[in-house]
Amino acid sequence: MTAATLDAPAASTWAIGTPRLLAGLDRYGSLDHTAHLAAHGPLPPTDRARLTALLDAIALAGRGGAGFPFATKVRATPDHGTVIVNGSESEPASRKDRTLLRRTPHLVLDGAIAVAAAVRAKRVTVAVHDDAAAAAIRRAISERHDGRRVRVELVAGGFVAGEARAVRRALDGGPAVPPGRRIHLTQRGTLLSNVETFAQVAVALRLGPHRFRDTGTHAEPGTTLLTVGGAVAHPGVVEVPLGTPLGIVLSAAGAGIPQAVVIGGYHGTWLAPQLNSQLSHSTGLGAGVISVVDGSTCALGELARVTAWLAAQSAQQCGPCRFGLPALARDVAAIMRGADSTAALHHARAVDGRGACHHPDGAARFVTSGLQVLRTEVERHQAHGGCGRPTLGQLAVPA
């Protein structure tokens, strides 16, 4: 086998500063084990005490959206449990985890296997819904002497199916929707985190705490992956130091003059483009998505389109999801035709915090923040029955 394959990537990749997670991808389409070791070097051994001390020192939080401290998960996981890599990247605007799985799978496996060894886990399960990612991980497993404890499982790819408890439920043979009870998976002997989190562990083990903290901020050291899309000339997956100003990322991506920016994906928030604001997980990066909406599209049309898609992603297991989200989608569509925002804001408040899972909360946050940022557009639509611009689909949703 050659040192690296040249399969078509899941997304274009680039970096601001020196890449860590994406090291080597400027030269190769994807890294096999030989190319991986050349780019990153060997992985030092660890145990639970050393791993938790490292994680505490670098303040590593999960990169799936919730931002839970990873050291806390490691401490809470009993011996002989299960480690699950959540590769079910169901956020339509995100490509970062699939890029890691397809193009640098050994970095993900390094982190997962190291964590499994530290907590004495019986096995590692990589849960994915993308056939190409599954094939890349299986190929990587076959290249490793320590790959015998790893298995790959295909799971459903719906929006709520990517939630941690939904993934665990699907792996147990149940439906890929979150259960009504909000229990921590560590109580069931399961340590589950997303793909980038395990890749960050592999980077940190090699660098050590001091070198890891050479970039980023004091509170959030290191780098993070972002999927940048929408109205930009250079969409793709970018690695940036935490604390990088939004304006630098938008400029590097070739954004024009943004009307608004959606941060964190479709459970995230709409923001007015404050170019000096520093990007961090503590201030809402969520799933690591930056989507730009410019003045060529009807921004309320973009909001309505995504809200309708979110309503269609309902797990149908509670009233706020089954009835509240479709009502919210109808309200936003009416605003686009000139109605006021009173009904939409009422329905958003009615579903927030009342669902069996967090899907209604995220949808409510997406809509209310959008209506706040787009107040001028709401007034224009009320005055004229529209804005005269088409809805271009700058916020992508699956067909």
Within a domain: residue 164? yes
- Are 305 and 200 members of one domain? no
- Are 31 and 166 members of one domain? yes
Alpha-carbon distance 291 to 271, whole Å?
10
- Does residue 85 surpass a pLDDT of 60? yes
Provide the pairing of β-strand 4-5 with 150-154: unpaired
Pick from 105-119, 156-170, 278-292, 309-323 the range whose average pLDDT is largest: 105-119
pLDDT tens digits, 19-73: 999 999 999 999 999 999 999 999 999 999 999 999 999 999 988 777 788 999 9
CATH number at residue 335: 1.20.1440.230
Instruction: Select from 61, 3, 76, 32 the least CA-distant residue to 283.
Output: 61
Question: Is the Cα torsion angle 171, 173, 174, 175 positive or negative in sign?
Answer: positive
The answer to which of 58-67, 99-108, 114-123 has the lowest mean pLDDT is 58-67
- Does residue 166 surpass a pLDDT of 90? no
CATH number at residue 151: 3.40.50.11540
Q: Of 165, 182, 212, which residue sits at a domain end?
A: 212
Query: Which pLDDT score is estimated for 398?
Result: 87
- Are 195 and 324 members of one domain? no
Q: Of 170, 192, 212, which residue sits at a domain end?
A: 212
Asked if residues 376 and 341 have their Cβ atoms less than 8 Å apart, the reply is no
Within a domain: residue 99? yes
Name the pLDDT band for 378 (thresholds 50, 70, 90).
Answer: very high
- Are 46 and 171 members of one domain? yes
- Does residue 238 surpass a pLDDT of 90? yes
Q: Of 212, 238, 257, which residue sits at a domain end?
A: 212
Within a domain: residue 228? no
- Does residue 229 surpass a pLDDT of 80? yes
Provide the pairing of β-strand 4-5 with 236-241: unpaired
- Are 315 and 189 members of one domain? no
Within a domain: residue 225? no
Query: Which pLDDT score is estimated for 4?
Result: 35
- Are 60 and 185 members of one domain? yes
Q: Does residue 18 come out as left (phi exceeding 0), alpha (psi in the -120 to 50 range) or beta?
A: beta
Q: Indicate the average pLDDT of the chain.
A: 91
pLDDT tens digits, 364-373: 999 999 999 9
Cα separation values, 313 from 162, 173, 177, 184, 325, Å: 12, 20, 11, 23, 9
CA angle 69, 16, 92 (to 5 degrees): 60
Q: Biggest alpha carbon distance in the chain?
A: 67
- Does residue 133 surpass a pLDDT of 60? yes
Within a domain: residue 217? no
- Are 20 and 139 members of one domain? yes
Residues 6 or more apart from 393 whose CB is under 8 A from it? Answer: 297, 302, 305
Count how many domains the chain has: 2
Within a domain: residue 196? yes
pTM above 0.85? yes
Query: Which pLDDT score is estimated for 6?
Result: 32
Structural domain of 311: 299-384
